[in-house]
Amino acid sequence: MKVCEVMTAPPVCVAPRVPLVEVTRRMAECAVGSVLVVENGALRGIVTDRDLALRGMGGGMAPEAPVDAVMSAEVVTVDADDDLQVAYRAFRRTEVRRLPVLDGGRVVGVLTIDDLFLDVFRRLGDLLGPVAWSVLQEPPGPTSACGGPRVL
Amino acid sequence: MKVCEVMTAPPVCVAPRVPLVEVTRRMAECAVGSVLVVENGALRGIVTDRDLALRGMGGGMAPEAPVDAVMSAEVVTVDADDDLQVAYRAFRRTEVRRLPVLDGGRVVGVLTIDDLFLDVFRRLGDLLGPVAWSVLQEPPGPTSACGGPRVL
Amino acid sequence: MKVCEVMTAPPVCVAPRVPLVEVTRRMAECAVGSVLVVENGALRGIVTDRDLALRGMGGGMAPEAPVDAVMSAEVVTVDADDDLQVAYRAFRRTEVRRLPVLDGGRVVGVLTIDDLFLDVFRRLGDLLGPVAWSVLQEPPGPTSACGGPRVL
Amino acid sequence: MKVCEVMTAPPVCVAPRVPLVEVTRRMAECAVGSVLVVENGALRGIVTDRDLALRGMGGGMAPEAPVDAVMSAEVVTVDADDDLQVAYRAFRRTEVRRLPVLDGGRVVGVLTIDDLFLDVFRRLGDLLGPVAWSVLQEPPGPTSACGGPRVL
């Protein structure tokens, strides 16, 4: 199984000089936790919501500061054609939770650790067979609220 | 979560003097891989299909030999009221794959390692949320045969 | 198994009027992704690094704005004494990834979705027995860098 | 990741005319639950300990009967070169728990469902990182007996 079969594509990208506040808007709109920083089709870095908070606001930067001031320029990447195994290994050896996916040097997607948790779940379901479905206690779709956990 | 919420009940039981060949029939009828050996409500042992083959046929026993000749008399058990954690620990520390479940000394069920693989799967599904359903690639019910693995 | 056996304690807490920028520092120091907002021992809300970025900086707030302006005041909680099952259900039914843990109304810890992924892993390891260790490919401690994934 | 990276090799094989009682001995010696039936290098079938008990003893066969009388002649197989994904799919779509592995038509190994449970465990460990080790509660090697589950 290849990275390109599981990745999310296309990725959400911004240019290096885009202001931090604009990046927060893209993250909210696209419901993502990280954005790739790309220039002329080449990956320059990655920035997470945590980077914006801790390095941006925490570092005393103005909301108009450019995103390349807080991005991580050292990025662990995988190739679209790589076996998924390469991505598992990357998550084991690093602290990152998202891997930009390249194809011939061009950014084509993102693979998150959550994508691979789903891969693990699917594999486990394969091994357990049809009975696996019977233990999933709530159907897909909006979940019922009754009898749930306490809300403050 | 308690053992009694996950166990299979009632268990398939036979008396100690039941012939091996009769036990093979009960296993086939009930589609189980092990049978509890019970006398006057008390657990005397457990016998698996493997025991019937290796200790029974392999040990030169006649099909009319009594099941207590091949059963395991040392049985790891759990209580119906035990936290599921006790069962996980039992599987970690022993080689067994089935645990008879007792309630006040009386046999009330069996907990198999497959029941707990399903418990693990359900927990993982809980953590992943509704999106988990989307990755299960075949619906419940008879599975499609097309495009499947090779059959000799 | 109870929530208090798996939760992280004590939790990182701040008062409602603490400035956003101070919260970013606490998150960095303590290496956490969320902080509980507590007043006179009572839970008032929770704030994540994402809230600071998207609602704080993205909402045009100054770094000196008080944290209660961006926190989530509706918080799903569990009790320290609850069976872990209650926490699994909470994660299934909500989008949250952290649950403050209460004991008699007082905040005593936090249970994250990552704590429960570890719980799932431990259970699976229990079922697989000692052989499970043999497949974990790298020892604990700093991981080797050689032969790893590409770094930009 | 390919089937040949995870399979057990070489497989335990017997000829079609080997007596059932001899097969039980091979299973005991090699600590396996199934044996491949092979003739002139070609796979003819597979036989499990359960087949020996239920079809053999349960079917009234003598211990000297040949194994091909109880083996399953329809066997789901995978190729050594197949992506592991093919094996997951085979387990999802069939009831089998062992897949003979072929290489150019020749039998070279067996892939069991337990091999893939270990694969799932390893992947989950990769995603959780070094902290995963800390939750595995007992070291490799002989497990401690104290404080364990009840033994009858």
Residue C102 pLDDT more than 70?
yes
Tell me the nearest-neighbour CA distance from C16 into chain A, angstroms: 16
What residues of chain D lie within 8 A of the CB of A88, using their CB? 123, 126-127
Contact B116 C127 (CB under 8 A): yes
Query: How confident is the model over A109-137, as pLDDT tens digits?
Result: 999 999 999 999 999 999 998 888 877 76
Round to whole Å and give the CA distance between D97 and B113.
14
Asked if residue D81 has pLDDT above 90, the reply is yes
Q: How many CB pairs under 8 A join B and C?
A: 49
With 0-12 CB in 10 A as exposed, 13-18 as middle and 19+ as buried, what is A52? buried
Two structure tokens written together for B64? 């009319």
pLDDT in tens, D17-50: 999 999 999 999 999 999 999 999 899 999 999 9
pLDDT for res C146 = 39
pLDDT digits (tens, 9 = 90+) for A69-108: 999 999 999 999 999 999 999 999 998 999 999 999 999 9
CB contact under 8 A, B77 and D152: yes
pLDDT by residue, tens only, chain B of 152 residues? 999 999 999 999 999 999 999 999 999 999 999 999 999 989 999 999 999 999 999 999 999 999 999 999 999 999 999 999 999 999 999 989 999 999 999 999 999 999 999 999 999 999 998 888 877 765 544 444 434 445 56
What pLDDT score does D136 carry?
78
Residue with tokens 């620990």: B89
C-alpha triplet A38, A39, A40: angle, nearest 5°: 125
Q: Which domains does chain D have, with CATH numbers?
A: 3-132 (3.10.580.10)
Taking residues D78-105, what's their average pLDDT? 95
Q: What is the CA radius of gyration of chain B?
A: 18
Partners of residue B95 in chain D, C-beta under 8 Å = none
Is pLDDT at D148 greater than 60 in this prediction?
no
State ipTM: 0.87
Q: Express each pLDDT in A2-15 by its tens digit.
A: 999 999 999 999 99
Locate A93 and state its tokens.
């050896």
Q: How confident is the model at residue C148 (pLDDT cuts 50, 70, 90)?
A: very low
- Chain D nearest C-alpha distance from A126 (Å): 4
* Residue C45, both tokens: 């809300």
| Paired tokens of A3 | 């990275």
pLDDT, residue B143, reads 45
Give the model's pLDDT for residue D29: 97
Average pLDDT on C99-113 reads 96
- Residue D75 makes CB contacts below 8 A (sequence gap 6+) with B151, B152, D43, D45, D46, D100
pLDDT higher than 50, residue C141: no
The average pLDDT across C61-88 equals 97
DSSP states along chain D: -BGGGTSBSSPPEE-TTSBHHHHHHHHHHHT-SEEEEEETTEEEEEEEHHHIIIIIITTT--TTSBGGGTSBSS-EEEETTSBHHHHHHHHHHSS-SEEEEEETTEEEEEEEHHHHHHHHHHHHHHHHTTHHHHH--S-SSSPP-TT--EE-
Question: pLDDT band for position C84 (50/70/90)?
Answer: very high
Q: Which helix (H) or strand (E) holds B151?
A: strand B150-151
- Average pLDDT over all residues of chain A: 90
- CA nearest D130 in C: which residue? C140
Cis peptide before A140 (omega within 30 of 0): no
Q: Give the relative orientation of helices A84-93 and D113-128 as an angle to the nearest 10 degrees.
A: 40
Q: What is the pLDDT of residue C41?
A: 86
- Is residue D16 within 8 Å of D40, Cβ to Cβ? no
Q: What is the pLDDT of residues A19-49, one digit of tens each?
A: 999 999 999 999 999 999 999 989 999 999 9
